[in-house]
Structure 1
Amino acid sequence: MFSENKKGKQNENSSIQNLIAKGTKIVGTFSSEGDIRVDGVIEGDVITPGKVVVGKTGEIHGSLESSNAHFEGKFTGKLKLTGTLTLKASAHIEGEVITEKLAVEPGATFNVTCVMKSTVKDIKGEQKTKKTA
């Protein structure tokens, strides 16, 4: 009745959401197993297998590693994603970006060196990573 299985634990981690509220500043490494929303400021490294959303008042200065990221605010540093980077018109991104997919609204600032990587399935159905420069 009270036993936990691994599948239940995975579902629990995927529903975790962290909020860095406006007026909050974090300095150092921030890691989480769940999604993160940033409306404050993070100076340092952000690491999560989940999604990161940076609101209009949000800023990250440092590095970010996640699956997907959605920016309305600012980012300066190294951004490494395994999925999609989405930039709204108010986004301001500077630095280095490695991502699989990129979606940019008109008006966004995107001053970066960018590497696009995509996963391609071969005939046998196995996934291979293809690097595009």
Structure 2
Amino acid sequence: MFSEKKEKQPQVLERNIIGKNTSIVGDILSDGDFRIDGKVEGTIKTTGRVVIGKTGYINGKVECNNADIEGKFSGELIVNSLLTLKATATILGDIVISKLSVEPGAEFNATCAMKGSVKELKNEQTKKQKTAS
């Protein structure tokens, strides 16, 4: 009878930039996007996008929704959606992703697990087992 419509507030994403001559050691937690042109040693956890510029370097752990890498990354990388490696990218470590795009010239020396395809395979096997009975 009396219905109240709550208006959703638009989500404002922050854009965080770590400059070329900046070095950070520690953990960073945010809902916004990051662009790293400097050096980060530690953990970055965000629901946004992480961009590592050509001069950027991360040594540690990154958890994000999307990532574009032109610089260097070493450590553990968890990307919920799309990881894009540009031609100048250098990746070392353990990677967990849903989708991967690699330009020719990128260095990719990592173990990689694609979580989206694992779910699909498990679902297909379960369906086959159910229909086989």
TM-score interval, normalised by the smaller of the two chains: 0.7 to 0.9
Q: Does 1:24 align with 2:22?
A: yes
Runs of 4+ in 1 over 2 A off after TM superposition: 129-132
Instruction: Indicate how the Cα distance of structure 1 residues 117 and 23 shifts in structure 2: closer, same or farther if over 3 A, else same.
Output: same
Q: 2:95 maps to what in 1?
A: 97
**Counterpart of 1:124?**
none
The Cα of 1:6 is off from its aligned counterpart by 7.5
Alignment partner, residue 84 of structure 1? 82
User: In the alignment, which residue of structure 2 is the partner of 1:126?
Assistant: none
Partner of 1:42: 40
CA distance in 2: counterparts of 1:39 and 1:131, whole angstroms: 38
Deviation of 1:131 after TM superposition, in Å, equals 6.5
When the two structures are superposed, what TM-score results if normalisation uses the length of structure 1? Answer: 0.82
After superposition, the CA RMSD in angstroms is: 1.9
Q: 1:119 to 1:29 in 2, by over 3 A?
A: same
1:117 is displaced (CA, Å) by: 1.4
Question: Which whole-Å CA distance do the structure 2 matches of 1:130 and 1:25 have between them?
Answer: 41
**Residue of structure 2 equivalent to 1:123:** none
2:111 counterpart of 1:113 = yes
- Structure with greater proportional helix content: 2
* Higher gyration radius (CA): 2
2:11 is matched with 11
The size of the alignment, in residue pairs, is 117
Structure 2 runs not aligned, ≥5 long? 1-5, 123-133
Note the alpha carbon deviations across 1:33-69, whole angstroms, 9 max, x for none: 1100000000000100000000000010000000000
The structure whose residues are more often strand, as a share, is 1
Please report the TM-score for the alignment, with normalisation by the length of structure 2.
0.82
Q: Distance in 2 between matches of 1:61 and 1:6?
A: 41
The Cα of 1:109 is off from its aligned counterpart by 0.3
- Percent identity of the aligned residues? 49
Instruction: Judge conservation of contact 1:86–1:104 (CA < 8 Å) in 2.
Output: yes
